[in-house]
Amino acid sequence: MAYADDGELTSDTSLLHFYGEDLKRRREEAGLKQTKFAAEALIAPSLLSKIESGKRLPSKELSVLADARFGTGDHFQRLWPLVIKYAYPSWFRPFVELEATARAIRSFQVQVVPGLLQTQEYARAVLEAGRLDPDRVEELLAARVVRQDILTRENPPELWVVLDETVLRRPMGSSEVFAGQLQRLLEATESARTVLQVIPFSAGGHAGNNGAFSALAMDEGPDVVYVDGLLQGQIHADPAEVRAATRIYTLLQAGALSPAASLDLIRTVMKDHR
């Protein structure tokens, strides 16, 4: 870990380590023992130790407490959204960064609701289905909430989502949790910049049989396509591949129910979870 003379982050450091070491430095300057600060933060001393060494992600609550305890204004709170991206696997972070600057997002999903539209309860059920460590689940949930902020900012991207009907027929969590997720889909379409369509089972085979993907239209730089994989996804920027993905998405839109009919189907499915 290295700092410039004024204590700022330098090029050979990561934000995660910077956050941890800065937290430790300010705690020690305040003469506060690790066990005492951990107790104030309602976390185990071992977890605080890992956070200070850049091995675990901090929580938003810890960031708020640190700023109040050390008189640092909103320093740690402003760092937290930047640090939280480290919750994602290294191969997924570039996509999250591109997604945050995209002008338009086209998402096709065959198993679960896309992350940008997941409720916290639904997302928890999805993550827990993967038998992840509970602490890891909490980290990913926090990262997902921050990622969704792009939809509520002043100039959000245009979002078009096409779902296979399987997504609506595969409940995650309790009936209450799943009903809440379906309601979230309905509410998302209240924005003029969000469109949702469903490909019904009655459509039979469709152009997206090869799996889920997202296409990002960028104001700067080439448009890209992200394709889900078993172990990790891949980002493609080759113009020919982007054109192919765009054609597939157009075919999916053409084969899907209209936006109005799609919402009617969601409302119908909701009746089974009330």
| Tens-digit pLDDT profile for residues 114-139 | 999 999 999 999 999 888 888 888 88
Residue ending a domain, choose from 61, 86, 111: 86
Q: Report whether pLDDT(9) > 80.
A: no
Instruction: Give the mean pLDDT of the chain.
Output: 90
Tell me the pLDDT band of 6, cut-offs 50, 70 and 90: very low
**Separation of alpha carbons 47 and 157, rounded Å:** 37
| Tens-digit pLDDT profile for residues 261-274 | 999 999 999 998 87
Predicted TM-score (pTM) of the model is: 0.82
128 and 28 inside one domain: no
Predicted local distance difference test score (pLDDT) of residue 132? 80
Total count of domains within the chain: 2
**Separation of alpha carbons 162 and 185, rounded Å:** 12
Residue for token pair 């708020």: 64
27 and 121 inside one domain: no
122 and 108 inside one domain: yes
| Tens-digit pLDDT profile for residues 203-247 | 988 988 888 999 999 988 899 999 987 778 899 999 999 999 999
**Separation of alpha carbons 107 and 268, rounded Å:** 23
Predicted local distance difference test score (pLDDT) of residue 3? 40
Predicted local distance difference test score (pLDDT) of residue 8? 47
**Residue 10 is assigned to a structural domain of this protein:** no
**Separation of alpha carbons 148 and 260, rounded Å:** 24
**Residue 27 is assigned to a structural domain of this protein:** yes
Pairing of strands 234-236, 102-109: unpaired
Give the E-state strand segments of 21-147 in sequence order.
102-109
| Tens-digit pLDDT profile for residues 34-54 | 999 999 999 999 999 999 998
Pairing of strands 194-199, 158-164: parallel
193 and 100 inside one domain: yes
CATH number for position 45: 1.10.260.40
- Tell me the range of 55-64, 156-165, 204-213 where mean pLDDT is highest: 156-165
Domain that holds residue 23: 15-86
